Amino acid sequence: MNDSLLITNATILTVNPVDEVIHGGALLIEKGRIADIGPSDALEAKYAGVERLDATGHVLLPGLVNLHLHSGLIRGTAEDLPVFEWLTKYVDPKHRALTEDIAFDAARLSYTEALLSGTTCVMDMYRYMHKCADAAESLGLRATLAPYVVDKPGMDYFESLDKNVQLVLDRNKTANGRIQVWFALEHLTYCTEDAYRKAAAYAEKYDTGIHTHGEESIEMARRLQAQTGRWPVELFYDRGILGPRTVLAHCVWLQDSERELLARTGTAVAHCPVSNLKLASGIAPVKELLDLGVTVGIGTDGVKENNNLDMLEELKFVPLLQKARLLDATVIKAETALRMATIDGARALGLDGEIGSLEIGKKADLIAVDFRKHHLTPIIRGKYDNAVSNLVYAASGADVNHVFVDGKPLVLGRKLLTADAEEIRLSAQSAAERLFELREPFVPA
């Protein structure tokens, strides 16, 4: 494919500041960026000699940003348990057994699944993340890598801050800027106070961000408050990590003081609705956070706690849960959910100047969703325009046809172009089988 491509005859969801929708629209990609956007007939005449991709029947939108996921291979094998029992019985033994080769296969599988379902940018918290960087670079997606750092005694099978620093030095802003590396801490119960303070200092020194788990368990939130006299977000504040370059996952159980701290410090939240439902964690107060001006993006969490990385499926749960929680059908409209999955996720990662909306000058990270499906019919224009509503409430990752990052086609006609998808699947199958064998001695009776 040439440096220039004109995508024509699409319904374009720009997610620009006024949420402009262009029916019968076209978008010009030049040298990896969006060079023009507007009515298809006008752009076709203006750029008569440019290579074209006919997107008739498709909805074009910014690539989705998955703000919190964990690569992994134990999908469907750690089910129906509360979060900390699940961690103890299944997840921690997996980390004890994990090898860098298995981590590479897990990352390739996860990133392939993400791309094929319309996610172009991920924040991945995992281990052996130099191998995750290799996977992201080869597949072509945009990735913020956040290694699992743990420093409590007896848990040295996780990553260390020293390894996190080395990963920043080796891989931050590599792959033509598609890969960035943040400092990451697993959880308040896994990390010492000193780890948080050091991570904050390192993040400032290397001009990068911080990612950690906000509380998803009400029992743990109460336990931490009983032990320390402070709620989890208050502890993060005391330890110096809150700020506009920090993203907290989950934040299901928040006191008023915690919400105000998030707003005052500019800290962002990665909302993971399906994971929170599956682990019976609860429903995060997203409406209240948005009302306070907190940036809230959307994450799937990992395949072990969600079972898939389908961000379009995740989108539907965001408004539905808030409507049910507040018994108010007017809260969290479809347009708000779409912004959370695109421009707001990009803002949380410090990337909103480059991605997250379809605007001239931005990088051409975009996807085309095929609306020529029974479950996405009808498409209505004008007074009853339903393109955004159908995308949020009816579409799934299986409807994504084309995916571009930096203007480069990574998926066309649902075919992955940058690797052999079947080889990745088979390698992941073999790696998972090895992982279960290696993990077995660490599984508690």
Domain CATH number, residue 23: 2.30.40.10
Which amino acid type is present at position 413? Answer: G
Spell out the residues 6+ positions from residue 376 whose beta carbon is closer than 8 angstroms to its own.
Answer: 370, 390, 394, 395, 399
| DSSP 8-state symbol, 338 | H
Gap between the Cα atoms of 169 and 155, Å rounded: 24
Within 10 Å of residue 142's Cβ, how many Cβ atoms?
26
Pair (91, 153) in one structural domain:
yes
Residue 88 is predicted with a pLDDT of 84
Say if residues 8 and 22 touch (Cβ distance below 8 Å).
no
Gap between the Cα atoms of 11 and 191, Å rounded: 47
Within 10 Å of residue 4's Cβ, how many Cβ atoms?
16
Last residue of a domain, one of 305, 324, 348: 348
Q: Could you give the number of structural domains in the chain?
A: 2
Last residue of a domain, one of 330, 348, 366: 348
The vertex-41 CA angle with 40 and 42, nearest 5°, equals 90
What is the number of helices (H) and of strands (E) in the chain?
Answer: 17, 18
Which residue is it, tokens 């494919």? Answer: 1
Of 149, 141, 132, 124, which is closest to residue 68 (Cα–Cα)? 124
Residue 1 is predicted with a pLDDT of 56
Pair (21, 147) in one structural domain:
no
Pair (27, 105) in one structural domain:
no
User: Alpha-carbon dihedral of residues 92, 215, 164, 108, nearest 10 degrees?
Assistant: 60
Strand partners, 13: 21
Pair (212, 269) in one structural domain:
yes
Indicate the pTM of the whole model. 0.97
Whether 444 maps to a domain, the answer reads no
Gap between the Cα atoms of 143 and 120, Å rounded: 8
H helical segments located in 117-192: 129-139, 161-171
Pair (285, 400) in one structural domain:
no
Residue 147 is predicted with a pLDDT of 97
- Max Cα separation, the chain? 70
Residue 86 is predicted with a pLDDT of 81
Whether 423 maps to a domain, the answer reads no
The pLDDT tens digits along the chain (445 residues) read 568 999 999 999 999 999 999 999 999 999 999 999 999 999 999 999 999 999 999 999 999 999 999 999 999 988 888 777 888 888 889 999 999 999 999 999 999 999 999 999 999 999 999 999 999 999 999 999 999 999 999 888 899 999 999 999 999 999 999 999 999 999 999 999 999 999 999 999 999 999 999 999 999 999 999 999 999 999 999 999 999 999 999 999 999 999 999 999 999 999 999 999 999 999 999 999 999 999 999 999 999 999 999 999 999 999 999 999 999 999 999 999 999 999 999 999 999 999 999 999 999 999 999 999 999 999 999 999 999 999 999 999 999 999 999 999 999 999 999 999 999 999 999 999 999 999 999 988 7
Pair (206, 78) in one structural domain:
yes
Pair (268, 282) in one structural domain:
yes
Question: Is the torsion defined by CA of 388, 390, 396, 398 positive or negative?
Answer: negative
Q: Which residues in 201-322 belong to E strands, given as ranges?
A: 210-213, 246-249, 268-271, 296-298
What's the domain range around 376? 4-62+357-416
Residue 358 is predicted with a pLDDT of 98
Please report how many Cα atoms fall inside a 13 Å half-sphere around the Cα of residue 138, on the Cβ side.
17
Encode 330-348: b = buried (16+ Cβ within 10 Å), e = exposed.
ebbebbbbbbbbbbbbbbb
Pair (343, 262) in one structural domain:
yes
* Structural element, H or E, at residue 225: helix 218-228
